Amino acid sequence: MLERTAELRENEARLCRMTELSSDWHWEQDENGKFTEISGPVLEMLGIKIDEAQGELMEDQGALWNEHERRILNENIAARRPLLDFVYTRTNPDGSKKYLMVSGEPMFDALDRYVGYRGVGKDVTESMLPNGEASANL
């Protein structure tokens, strides 16, 4: 039994590490869309704070999300559709743009009830901007 527990812990650690290597952050939301977990540098990177009590993000004043892209993202989450490499943009207060890519999936419990959403994200700004422009805007 102890050997099997050790194997499971080792597999879990390996999976966590591979996830960390393939993304900049991980996130989970509950069934109401409130963030229950955000790990990685995304909040600092975007200058966003999280209201721990409410599980809601508090945006940096002056930053603007592309509303069309955000609506599509939110519609996919609300419809409980998986996301694969969905890219959306944010214009920072200084006018620079950030391109973010997320992948995620709905979570269900043992009774097949929706319990939230989880995913990973990555800053893909460097790969989205023409050569030379990325360093000027970061």
| CB distance 126 to 29 below 8 Å | no
**Mean pLDDT across the chain, nearest whole number?**
82
Number of Cβ within 10 Å of residue 27's Cβ equals 19
Instruction: Set out the domains of the chain in order of their start, with CATH numbers.
Output: 2-137 (3.30.450.20)
pLDDT tens for residues 54-75? 667 676 677 888 999 999 999 9
pLDDT of 31: 94
The most confident of the ranges 4-8, 39-43, 119-123 is: 119-123
Q: Is the dihedral of CA 12, 76, 51, 100 positive or negative?
A: positive
107 — pLDDT class (breaks 50, 70, 90): very high
* Contacts (Cβ under 8 Å, ≥6 apart) of 22: 120
pTM of the predicted structure, to 2 decimals:
0.73
